[in-house]
Chain A
Amino acid sequence: MSLLRAEGLSKEFGGLLAVDKLSFEIAAGTVHSIIGPNGAGKTTLLNLLTGIYAPSGGRVWFEDSELTGRAPWEFAAAGVARTFQNLQVFFNMSALENVMVGRYRQERCSLASALLRTPALARAERACREEAAELMRFVGLAGWLDARADAMPYGALKRLEIARALATQPRMLLLDEPAAGLNTAETSEIDALIVKLAERGHTVVLVEHNMRLVMGVSDHILVLDYGRKLAEGSASEVRRDPRVIEAYLGSDIGARGAGATVH
């Protein structure tokens, strides 16, 4: 059964259709990549799937509940988490606190217990701190446990956002260009992290330009062009698709990639 279902999803900006009647499903426990040239509507689509934009048309279901037009926090409550292409880190906090914020929904407390700092809350806080630290170690930030977020380098912040998203215990994790702006070594670390997430059974939706990364980790790829679905299928299906080769991969990559296996 599919975890997320989009039906005829559209988003219009001043007459321009950034996403145009898109329908697709995302199966649980898979790595689902969304690729396409710049301006194909990938980030717009991610914003539609997390409630940051309300669609101009169409509907979104997550499991059995319809989330069309709901606020981002309601998507989060349903189990959708994401990272941002152009970092949205809480720079006014420590790295650990950034991840602790991710546990907001599990750690909810009454205002009175927060103001009075009840013993139960103090205990929950210690546990929350420990779990956040564990997540930071998981994404490879063990060396930054005591750091302020504004003192961290770009590559570490990318992973901090993943740790924060994981802290929400999501049913589905959307990663918006996690490797953008990273050097080769950092990219292969992100690569390994996504593989690790997939192995743990996370449902991952990946928007990424780095084709080696996409082809290597994806169970399913959705190719967008001008906001429309150009092709869909497994990595090998997509890379053989002539329309994809034409519009996106470029004929040389298509020729080289056809039939070849990627690690």
Chain B
Amino acid sequence: MSWLASPRTGGMAALIAVVAALPLVLTNNYFYEVAILVALNAIVCVGLNLLIGYAGQISLGHAGFFGLGAYGSAILTARFGWPSLAALATAIAAAGFLAYLIGRPILRLRGHYLAMATLGMGVIAAIVVATEDRLTGGPDGMPVPPLSLFGAQLSGEATWYWVVVALLVLAVWLSLNLIESPAGRALRALSGSEVAAEVVGIDSARQKVRVFVISAVYAAAAGSLTAHYSGFITPSKVSFFHSIELVTMVVFGGMASTFGAVVGAAVLTTLPQLLTAFKEYEMMALGAIMMGTMIFMPRGLVPTLAALAAALRARKEAP
């Protein structure tokens, strides 16, 4: 059954089955809340993985785009009384446009230099949020009105869950489609060999900016929804630490694997909740797990496990 092995069919079927079955074990609101945060982080990571995993371009500032989505929605609805859907669309479009403007100059840089430039971008976003306190509430954060769709307010954990997982499924589907298209192969070619990509006719600068914009749009969409869902937004979501968290999820789950990004987001969002059993050693335990994973599975969780499964299958078939 070859369709089961293909990410675009088998993987999608597995994802839909998991999100559909999950409410069976989500027995209280807290579990729902964790599941919703997992899905929102996963949306950011699926976009970020297109940039980092597939196109091979690092960004240490994506919390900036997440924050632009979150604060854009918050400010437009709370301070200017915009309808939340219009605010959401505007905030996402603004993030995409900003990514386009910033992307052109900084994506000329490579490797460590690109890391530094994106880091700077994220730090500037954090400073703006912290100092523009009349708009953003400064370090204290600000409340965000609930999301309303066509006059109906989105409330209740279960409702939010279905909306957010539907968007995650959509995000994953779009990403899988992109990767298996000529445009997606062009992105993977950039990380394989930029010079070879150029000599077959791929305008690398344009492709990099394009994937940067796509990843920023994913981050801003998740940021905006996170703000509405939580009802409150603080600068910590725009911080450098949050950018690192997002990159870590992508790397941990497995670069250049869309489902890896989802699994990475799921593990690293739930793990801190589970590790509260370790009390004051929580962060140490988290660090040890991450170090161990990267030492023994340097390609990340999903690609390593997939390779292992393929090897086992091959051994079973060979008598």
Contacts and interface: CB of A to CB of B under 8 A. Distances in A.
A75 B188 CA distance: 21
A184 interface: no
A114 B198 contact: no
Contacts of A89: 192-193, 196
Contacts of B197: 90, 101
A92 B193 CA distance: 9
A73 B204 contact: yes
B93 to A, nearest CB: 15
Chain A binding site: helix, strand, loop or mixed by DSSP? helix
Interface stretch (B17-25, B73-81, B123-131, B179-187): B179-187
Contact of B202 (A51, A73, A128, A167): A73
Contacts of A105: 200-201
Interface stretch (A115-123, A207-215, A250-258): A115-123
A62 to B, nearest CB: 14
Interface residues of A, number: 42
Contacts of B256: 92
A72 B199 contact: yes
B189 interface: yes
B200 A114 contact: no
A102 interface: yes
Interface string A144-186: 0000000000000000000011011000000000000000000
B199 A93 contact: no
Contacts of A168: 200-201
Nearest to B199: A72
A216 B309 CA distance: 50
B4 interface: no
Interface stretch (A6-14, A76-84, A189-197, A232-240): A76-84
Given A90-B192, A90-B193, A93-B188, A50 B182 contact: no
Interface of B: 174, 177-178, 180-186, 188-189, 191-193, 195-204, 210, 256
Given A90-B193, A117-B180, 17 more contacts: A52-B195, A52-B199, A89-B193, A90-B197, A93-B189, A100-B182, A101-B189, A102-B200, A104-B182, A104-B185, A104-B189, A108-B182, A114-B183, A114-B184, A115-B177, A121-B181, A164-B196
Interface of A: 50-52, 71-73, 75-77, 80-82, 84, 88-93, 97, 100-105, 107-109, 111, 113-117, 121, 125, 128, 164-165, 167-168
